[in-house]
């Protein structure tokens, strides 16, 4: 294995991939292809060369022009490439044209991302979503999978394709059979995902009843969201330097000044995230939609122009999924990799942001305090005296998510100090008593 090639989890050698892109004049090819290189490496492909054509729009039939296609053939052979990786979502006709011209496997941007998602999905729900997205992507491209049968059938005689030119024969019947099977599978997967979604909604309602503040971590992929989740909550979410390492939403808790907060890590964003992936991976994005606060995590060690692009990309997707109205705090991570002057520039450019290092712990207490301040008015500290024959009241309190902070048995009943959501205070008004401590038993008894 040569330097710079990805080390695959199963120990196998990476595939040699030639990268291809059609870019308008004036676009920096090196910068534009940086993300494709990282996607390829994450998928287990070692980029061995790049071919770029400058034109306003891709060729509708071949993706590249005739002359560039000849150059592409030569480059593919010279680099001993094993797969062509294209930085766009190809139309089926474009993909078939490139495959025929190169006699090689062609993987477009969407296929590449789907492959990475398939590698990283852990939960049953995540795997269902991956399969659904792959089926929906492949369904209109199935014809190309049966070209060998079409060629056999088109050889002459009774095997010619039936039902009119290009429609008869075993290849077409097999194709239609596969399409029906794929459509049935898609219907089944959608039903299963609806069922899983209903269970998730039930769990979410329980969280909402408790009025425990919910914070979602959003941001470009590989900015350190999972590391930040671990640092805030003491969790042990896997952290690796790979794109899309977190696919399944992970929720953990942390406490600050005796109050509990829920933090959810979500899938990382990228530029030009394919539409079917935004729709297909709704579960992790839904956690952003139901959050009370979004922490938009960014990588402070990036060049300023790249940082600005990534912030814009995340803000665009958040708006697309309907999360644009949720309060957002900008969290600049990885500041341990930035020199003092760079930190000052970041602070000046984003004056309301919080600078942290999830690795060293720097700025985490300030971040927790900022989160707590967001929800300072959500709860009321109350003191209750619950008679022993009103045991249901204690049950109701615990049903709210165990807001009882202290309790003590007295002759008159159970004295508790609880943290109640505003809307629940009136419900327990008959049991409210003055004071805030548990030590004054005489006052509780007289009440």
For residue 125, the tally of other CB atoms under 10 A from its CB is: 22
Task: Indicate the residue among 374, 403, 427 that finishes a domain.
Answer: 374
CB atoms inside a 10 Å sphere around CB 440: 16
Q: Are residues 306 and 364 in the same domain?
A: yes
* Phi, psi of 131, deg, nearest 5: -60, -40
Residue 3 maps to a domain: no
Which residues have CB under 8 Å from 304's CB, separation 6+? Answer: 345, 349
Q: Are residues 331 and 401 in the same domain?
A: no
Q: Are residues 139 and 243 in the same domain?
A: no
CB 292, CB 214: distance < 8 Å: yes
The verdict on 220 and 356 lying in the same domain is yes
First to last CA, the chain: 78
Domain final residue pick, 85, 118, 151: 118
Domain annotation covers residue 204: no
Does one domain contain both 175 and 280? no
Give yes or no for a contact between 109 and 37, defined as CB atoms under 8 angstroms apart: no
Do 112 and 126 share a structural domain? no
Q: Please report where in the chains the tokens 């269902």 appear, as a residue.
A: 128
Of 22, 89, 19, the closest CA to residue 57 belongs to: 22
Cβ pair 319, 354 in contact under 8 A: no
Domain boundary among 118, 153, 168: 118
pLDDT given for residue 77 in this prediction: 96
Given this model, what pLDDT does residue 83 score? 96
User: Could you tell me the residue range of the domain that residue 407 belongs to?
Assistant: 379-446
Write the CATH number for 243. Answer: 3.40.50.300
Looking at the domain assignment, is residue 364 inside a domain? Answer: yes
Ordered alpha helix ranges (H), 258-390: 275-280, 282-289, 304-320, 340-349, 364-374
Helical spans, DSSP H, in 325-440? 340-349, 364-374, 391-399, 422-425
Residue 385 and residue 415 in contact, taking contact as beta carbons nearer than 8 Å: yes
Q: Is residue 8 part of a domain?
A: no
> Are 364 and 222 found together in one domain?
yes
Gap between the Cα atoms of 235 and 393, Å rounded: 33
Q: Which residue shows structure tokens 């927790």?
A: 368
CA-to-CA distance for 425 and 406, rounded, in angstroms? Answer: 17
pLDDT at res. 162: 40
Residue 148 has a CB neighbour count (10 Å cut-off) of 9
CATH of the domain at 111: 3.40.50.11060
The sign of the torsion formed by the CA atoms of 108, 280, 275, 145 equals: positive
**Same domain as 113, residue 19:** yes
Q: Are residues 304 and 352 in the same domain?
A: yes
Asked if residue 248 and residue 363 are part of one domain, the reply reads yes
- Total number of domains in the chain: 4
Please tell me whether residues 32 and 63 are part of one structural domain. Answer: yes
Give domain status of residue 327, yes or no.
yes
Residue 155 near residue 118, CB atoms below 8 Å? no
At 412, is the secondary structure helix, strand, or coil?
coil
> Is 2 within a domain?
no
Please, what is the angle between helix 109-120 and helix 29-42, to 10°?
A: 40
Residues 228 and 338 in one domain: yes
Are the CB atoms for 83 and 16 separated by under 8 Å?
yes
- pLDDT values of the chain reduced to their tens digit, one per residue, 447 residues: 444 454 555 556 899 999 999 999 998 899 889 889 989 998 899 999 999 999 999 999 999 999 999 999 999 999 999 999 999 999 999 999 999 999 999 999 999 988 888 877 777 777 888 888 889 888 888 764 444 444 444 444 433 334 444 444 555 577 788 888 889 999 999 898 888 767 766 655 655 555 678 899 988 888 999 899 999 998 776 666 555 655 556 788 998 877 788 898 877 777 776 666 666 555 556 667 678 899 999 999 999 988 998 898 888 878 877 777 889 999 999 999 999 999 999 999 999 999 999 999 999 999 999 999 998 777 778 899 999 998 888 888 877 755 677 889 999 899 998 877 777 888 888 999 875 444 444 444 444
Would you say residue 203 lies in a domain? no
Q: Determine, yes or no, domain membership for 4.
A: no
Q: Which helix (H) or strand (E) holds 259?
A: strand 259-265
């Amino acid at each position: 294995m040569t330097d710079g090639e990805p080390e695959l989890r199963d120990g196998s050698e990476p595939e040699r991939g030639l990268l291809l892109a059609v870019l308008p004049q004036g676009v920096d090819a090196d910068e534009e292809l940086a993300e494709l290189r990282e996607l390829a490496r994450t998928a287990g492909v070692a980029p061995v060369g790049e071919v770029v054509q400058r034109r306003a729009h891709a060729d509708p039939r071949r993706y590249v022009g005739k002359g560039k296609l000849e150059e592409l053939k030569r480059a593919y052979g010279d680099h001993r490439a094993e797969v062509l990786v294209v930085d766009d979502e190809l139309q089926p006709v474009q993909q078939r044209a490139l495959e025929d011209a190169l006699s090689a496997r062609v993987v477009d941007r969407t296929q590449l991302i789907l492959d990475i998602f398939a590698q990283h999905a852990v939960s049953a729900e995540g795997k269902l979503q991956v399969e659904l997205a792959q089926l929906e992507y492949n369904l209109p491209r199935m014809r190309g999978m049966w070209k060998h049968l079409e060629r056999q059938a088109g050889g002459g005689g009774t095997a010619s394709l039936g039902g009119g030119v290009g429609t008869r024969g075993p290849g077409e019947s097999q194709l239609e059979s596969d399409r029906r099977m794929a459509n049935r599978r898609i219907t089944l997967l959608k039903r299963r995902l609806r069922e899983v979604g209903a269970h998730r909604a039930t769990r979410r309602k329980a969280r909402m009843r408790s009025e425990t503040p919910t914070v979602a971590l959003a941001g470009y992929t590989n900015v350190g969201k999972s590391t930040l989740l671990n640092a805030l909550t003491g969790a042990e979410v896997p952290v690796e330097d790979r794109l899309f390492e977190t696919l399944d939403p992970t929720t953990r808790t942390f406490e600050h000044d005796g109050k509990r907060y829920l933090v959810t890590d979500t899938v990382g964003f990228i530029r030009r995230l394919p539409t079917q992936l935004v729709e297909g991976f709704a579960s992790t994005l839904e956690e952003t939609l139901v959050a009370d606060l979004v922490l938009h995590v960014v990588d402070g060690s990036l060049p300023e122009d790249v940082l600005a692009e990534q912030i814009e990309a995340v803000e665009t997707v958040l708006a697309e999924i309907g999360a644009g109205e949720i309060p957002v705090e900008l969290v600049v991570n990885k500041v341990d990799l930035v020199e003092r002057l760079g930190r000052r520039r970041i602070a000046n450019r984003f004056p309301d942001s919080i600078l942290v290092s999830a690795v060293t712990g720097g700025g985490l207490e300030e971040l927790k305090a900022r989160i707590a301040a967001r929800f300072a008015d959500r709860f009321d500290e109350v003191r209750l005296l619950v008679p022993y024959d009103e045991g249901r009241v204690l049950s109701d309190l615990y049903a709210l998510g165990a807001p009882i902070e202290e309790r003590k048995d007295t002759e008159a009943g159970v004295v508790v100090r609880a943290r109640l959501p505003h809307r629940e205070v009136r419900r327990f008004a008959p049991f409210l008593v003055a004071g805030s401590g548990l030590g004054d038993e005489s006052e509780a008894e007289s009440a």
